[in-house]
Amino acid sequence: MTALETALTGLSLGTPVTHANLTLFPLLGGDAGEPAYLTLGEALAAGHARITEVSEQGSVPELRVVNGASQPLLLLDGEELVGAKQNRIVNLSILVPANSELVIPVSCVEAGRWRHESASFMAAERAHFARGRAQKMADVSHSLASSGERRSDQGAVWEEIRMKAGRMQAESSTAAAAAMYEANAHKLDDFVQAMPPAPGQCGAAFAVNGALLGVDLFDASATYAKQARKLLTSYALDAIDESRHEAPSAKPEDCRALLADVLRADCRAFKAVGLGEDLRLCGAGVKGAALELDGRVVHLCAFREQSGQAQRGEGAAGRMVRASRRRNLH
């Protein structure tokens, strides 16, 4: 049994929670103890981590992470880093080794600024909106399969922010995605307060207007509890953007179908940035990625394929193989 199969088949589904037009399906399972890594918030608060531009000149798609802790540092796919020359999001989940430095791939979410506001970055209590994360993930998978790099389509990231900010009437002078979260701070707090982590919850699947959008899963319930706010704001911003007076209810069987599709998805394994393996998933109506270390899935995120999304990474250079017979590409 693969690590992905072990992670998904060991789950149980908790009682769904709905606030406005967002439904959360708690995923129960995983370890009950503290994980053997730190989240970015923990490491920064303790003074163990520092994230900066790669040089004085900087490089839009890259940042430097210094982890001075005796434990690995988990960076979450899509979490936002604010400060330095411009705000960025992390392109994929990464485990930075203990007592090490690492250059990581990122995407800019503030197109109109390229000047230092601070020497280093702070961690925002949010992740990039879910539909943007989904498209970024598909583009990173395509980039990895075709060129060996983990690059997003930066122009597409900026365009999605521009269109969403326009719809939500939350434009800023620097075209920062942050403006959308700041303009809707009270609404986002309401979602977070309405959906607290349940005992034993190690992840969640999320539905907007009754349609399953995505799933995030960790190897430990303590990790989900620490990352819950970032993930909730990611999905809640889409829910606010797409709000309706009457939204259909999401059904538990739809959640189970999403998880089954993730489990059936073809999987390709690459050496990760940092520790572990980077698994890229592509299946019928679903795309995703997972970080695996020592036979455990540390973090999985997967999304229902969006209407019109290009079928990428499935040509001769990027053909996938079943998870049960995947080959490592180091």
The model's pLDDT over 105-161, given as tens digits with 9 standing for 90+, comes to 999 999 999 999 999 999 999 999 999 999 999 999 999 999 999 999 999 999 999
Closest CA to 137 of 79, 81, 92, 74: 92
Question: What is the tally of structural domains in the chain?
Answer: 1
Unique residue bearing structure tokens 């003074």? 47
User: How far apart (Å, rounded) are the C-alpha atoms in residues 242 and 168?
Assistant: 10
Domain enclosing residue 189, as ranges: 3-329
pLDDT at 317 over 90: no
* 251-304 pLDDT, tens digit each: 999 999 999 999 999 999 999 999 999 999 999 899 999 999 999 999 999 999
What is the pTM assigned to this prediction?
A: 0.92
Those residues whose C-beta lies under 8 Å from the C-beta of residue 290, and which sit 6 or more positions away, are: 4, 93, 278, 279, 281, 297, 298, 299, 300, 301
Task: Give the H or E element holding residue 3.
Answer: helix 3-9
Taking only Cα atoms into account, the Rg of the chain, rounded to an integer number of angstroms, comes to: 18
